[in-house]
C-alpha cells in the first residue's frame, strides 16, 4: 500500500466517528468535510470569495463536463483549474463515471472504457480509465478519482458482479496510468447492495493501493436505511489509516449518520440545487421560502445562523426575490445553504474533538423535532 496522506487525530469513544487531516498540494483539509459541488469549474450562484468567507476547504469539479467544455488542454494551457477558476484551495475532480451512468442513453460501456455522445452537440467521445487520469492530471486537481461503472438500483447480482469487476479492472489501469504529479488518486468501491461484493471490491482496491477510498453507487434510489447499512459495513472494511469518502451524499441527516459510521468526506448538489429552488436548510429543519407565511416576516432564515445572508436580509425580502425570479435570490440562498452545510461539519469536528459526538447527534435530531 502507498503511504497515506491522511492522519487521524482522534476518534469518538462511542462510535466510529473520527477527526483527521488530509494533506494535498494546495493545503491540508480538516475532516470530516463537506465539499461544495462546482461541476463546471464554478459552484453555481457564488464566487470563490463567497466560498472562502463561508469556510469551504475544498470543492469538487467534474472530469466529464470539463473534458467536453472547455477541454482539459485549454485549462492546462491557462495554468490549471485553480488559476482558471481563481480558487487556491484544494479541488477534487470526479472521474465522470456517474455522469456517464446518468446519461446512459448516450453511452456504451465496454472493457476499454465509455463511448458516449456529448450531451451538448451529440459529438462522439471516448473516456477510458487512462484518459480520465490524463484529463484530471491536466486539470491539476488535488484529488483524482478512478473511472468507475456506477450500478443502478435495483440491479441483479449478476449485473452487479459484472460491473463491479469491470470497475476493479479499470482501477488497476487508472493506477498504472498515474504519473508522479503529487496529485492523489482515490479508488472507488462499487458492489451495489450486495455486501459480499462490496467486501471483495475493498480487498481488490487495497491490493492495488490508493491514496484514499470512496464508496460509490449509493444514493441512487435505495432506501436510506439500506444506504446506511451498506455504508457502515463497507466503511468498517476500508483501511482506517486512509480517508473514506461517501460520494454524492447527501442531506444533513445523511452527513451526521455517515460520520457516525466512520466517513470522512462528502459532496452533494443538494445545498446549491435546493437554494435555487427556494428550499433552505436551518438548525430546526427545512424552510420553503416561497410559502405565504413569510410574506412579511422580518426574521432572518435562521436566527442562529451567522452567514452573510442571515446577517443582512429578512425572510420577507428573500421571498420577494424568489417570487420575482431575481438572480439575487439564488445567490443569497446558496450562500446560506452552503454556510449551513460547511458549518454543520465544523460543529461535527468540534464535537468529535471534545468526544461528545453522540450527544451532538442526539441534540441535532432534538432541534429538528422541536423546530
Q: Output phi, psi for 320, to 5 deg.
A: -55, -45
70 upstream amide cis, omega within 30 of 0: yes
DSSP per residue, 234-265: HHHHS-TTS-EEETT---HHHHHHHHHTT--E
Q: What is the pLDDT of residue 97?
A: 83
| Residue 289 near residue 297 (C-beta atoms within 8 A) | no
What is the model's pTM? 0.97
- Pairing status of strand 27-31 against strand 18-24: antiparallel
Grid coordinates belonging to 72: 482539459
- CB-based burial label for 121 (10 Å; 0-12, 13-18, 19+): exposed
Q: What is the pLDDT of residue 1?
A: 67
Active site (catalytic) residues: 94, 267
CA distance 234 to 187: 14
CA distance 289 to 270: 16
Q: Within 10 A of 207 (CB to CB), how many other CB atoms are there?
A: 11
329 CB-side CA count, 13 A: 24
Q: What is the pLDDT of residue 371?
A: 56
Q: CA 33, 37, 39 angle in degrees (round to 5)?
A: 145
**Helix or strand holding residue 57 (H, E):** none
CA distance 167 to 169: 6
- The four Cα atoms 220, 222, 223, 226 give a dihedral, to 10 degrees, of -110
Question: pLDDT truncated to tens, each residue of the chain (371 aa)?
Answer: 679 999 999 999 999 999 999 999 999 999 999 999 999 999 999 999 999 999 999 999 999 999 999 999 999 999 999 999 999 999 999 998 888 777 777 789 999 999 988 888 988 999 999 999 999 999 999 999 999 999 999 999 999 999 999 999 999 999 999 998 899 999 999 999 999 999 999 999 999 999 999 999 999 999 999 999 999 999 999 999 999 999 999 999 999 999 999 999 999 999 999 999 999 999 999 999 999 999 999 999 999 999 999 999 999 999 999 999 999 999 999 999 999 999 999 999 999 999 999 999 999 999 987 65
CA distance 223 to 161: 21
Q: What is the pLDDT of residue 2?
A: 74
CA distance 211 to 118: 31
Structural domain boundaries in the chain: 6-268, 275-370
Nearest to 138 by CA among 200, 85, 93: 93
Q: Quick check: helix, strand or coil at residue 313? A: coil
**Helix or strand holding residue 39 (H, E):** none
| Residues contacting residue 293 through CB under 8 Å, at least 6 positions apart | none
CA of 302: how far to CAs of 112, 148, 175, 179, 314, in Å? 50, 40, 46, 47, 10
- The rounded Cα 184 to chain-centroid distance in angstroms is 16
CA distance 333 to 276: 7
The contacts found for 163-167 with CB under 8 angstroms, 24 or more apart, are: 163/190, 163/192, 164/190, 164/191, 164/192, 164/197, 164/200, 164/201, 166/109, 166/111, 167/201, 167/216
Q: What is the pLDDT of residue 370?
A: 63
Q: What's the topology of domain 6-268?
A: TIM Barrel (3.20.20)
Amino acid at each position: 500500500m502507498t503511504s497515506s496522506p491522511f492522519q487521524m487525530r482522534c476518534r469518538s469513544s462511542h462510535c466510529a466517528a473520527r477527526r483527521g487531516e488530509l494533506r494535498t498540494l494546495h493545503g491540508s483539509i480538516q475532516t470530516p468535510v463537506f465539499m461544495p459541488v462546482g461541476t463546471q469549474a464554478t459552484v453555481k450562484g457564488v464566487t470563490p470569495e463567497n466560498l472562502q468567507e463561508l469556510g469551504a476547504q475544498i470543492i469538487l469539479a467534474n472530469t466529464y463536463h470539463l473534458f467536453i467544455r472547455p477541454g482539459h488542454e485549454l485549462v492546462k494551457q491557462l495554468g490549471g483549474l485553480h488559476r482558471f477558476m481563481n480558487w487556491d484551495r484544494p479541488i477534487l475532480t470526479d472521474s465522470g463515471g456517474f455522469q456517464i451512468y446518468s446519461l446512459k442513453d448516450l453511452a456504451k460501456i465496454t472493457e476499454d472504457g465509455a463511448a458516449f455522445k456529448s450531451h451538448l452537440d451529440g459529438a462522439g467521445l471516448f473516456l477510458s480509465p487512462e484518459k480520465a487520469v490524463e484529463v484530471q492530471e491536466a486539470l491539476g486537481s488535488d484529488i483524482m478519482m478512478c473511472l468507475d461503472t456506477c450500478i443502478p438500483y435495483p440491479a441483479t447480482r449478476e449485473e452487479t458482479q459484472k460491473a463491479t469487476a469491470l470497475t476493479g479492472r479499470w482501477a488497476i489501469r487508472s493506477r498504472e496510468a498515474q504519473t508522479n504529479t503529487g496529485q492523489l488518486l482515490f479508488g472507488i468501491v462499487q458492489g451495489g447492495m450486495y455486501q459480499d461484493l462490496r467486501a471483495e471490491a475493498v480487498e481488490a482496491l487495497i491490493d492495488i493501493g490508493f491514496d484514499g477510498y470512496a464508496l460509490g453507487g449509493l444514493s441512487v434510489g435505495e432506501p436510506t436505511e439500506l444506504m446506511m447499512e451498506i455504508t457502515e459495513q463497507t466503511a468498517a472494511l476500508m483501511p482506517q489509516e486512509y480517508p473514506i469518502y461517501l460520494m454524492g451524499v447527501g442531506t444533513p441527516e445523511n452527513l451526521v449518520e455517515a460520520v457516525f459510521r466512520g466517513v470522512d468526506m462528502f459532496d452533494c448538489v443538494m445545498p446549491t440545487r435546493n437554494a435555487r429552488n427556494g428550499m433552505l436548510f436551518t438548525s430546526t429543519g427545512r424552510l420553503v421560502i416561497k410559502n405565504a407565511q413569510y410574506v412579511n416576516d422580518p426574521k432572518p432564515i435562521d436566527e442562529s445562523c451567522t452567514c452573510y445572508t442571515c446577517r443582512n436580509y429578512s425572510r420577507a425580502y428573500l421571498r420577494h426575490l424568489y417570487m420575482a425570479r431575481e438572480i439575487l435570490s439564488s445567490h443569497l440562498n446558496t450562500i446560506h445553504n452552503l454556510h449551513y452545510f460547511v458549518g454543520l461539519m465544523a460543529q461535527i469536528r468540534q464535537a468529535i474533538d471534545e468526544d461528545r459526538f453522540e450527544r451532538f447527534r442526539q441534540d441535532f435530531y432534538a432541534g429538528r423535532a422541536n423546530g
